[in-house]
Amino acid sequence: MNPIVTSIGLLICSNVFMTFAWYAHLKSMNHKPWIIAALISWGIALFEYLLQVPANRIGHTVLSVGQLKILQEVITLTVFVPFSIFYLKEDLKWDYLWAGLCILGAVFFVFREKLTGI
């Protein structure tokens, strides 16, 4: 399988775990002490690392570290926005669109050589 596709798939899955590890406790454990939420989040994050580390190793065979990082940021926003709207019941904001456009600009510059040959 294509290493970029494999890396993207693993990064998407890892980001779902990480989003839950970082933010789900705001809704589901807001009445518990923060240390309990931190320990449970740490347990969830273990699964994120079990996916993220291989994703970066596979991706690094064909992408630079900068390209991997920007790819991760795109995936983070793609996972985070629906999570915040549907799980945390946050309002959709125009700022998410503007942030996405800024990240698309970053994607262009980091991948410009591969996209344009410049």
pLDDT of res. 52: 97
What are the boundaries of each domain within the chain? 3-116
Phi–psi pair at 105, nearest 5 degrees: -60, -40
48, 21 contact by CB (below 8 A): yes
The mean pLDDT value of the chain amounts to 92
Q: CA-CA distance, 107 to 102, in Å (whole number)?
A: 9
Q: What percent of the chain has pLDDT over 90?
A: 75
Q: What is the b/e burial string over 1-40, where b = at least 16 CB atoms within 10 angstroms of the residue's CB?
A: eeeeeebbebbebbbbbbbbbebbbeeeeeeeeeeebeeb
Q: What is the pLDDT of residues 36-89, one digit of tens each?
A: 999 999 999 999 999 999 999 999 999 999 999 999 999 998 999 999 999 999
Tell me which residue of 68, 73, 79 sits closest to 99, measured CA to CA. 73
pTM (2 d.p.)? 0.86
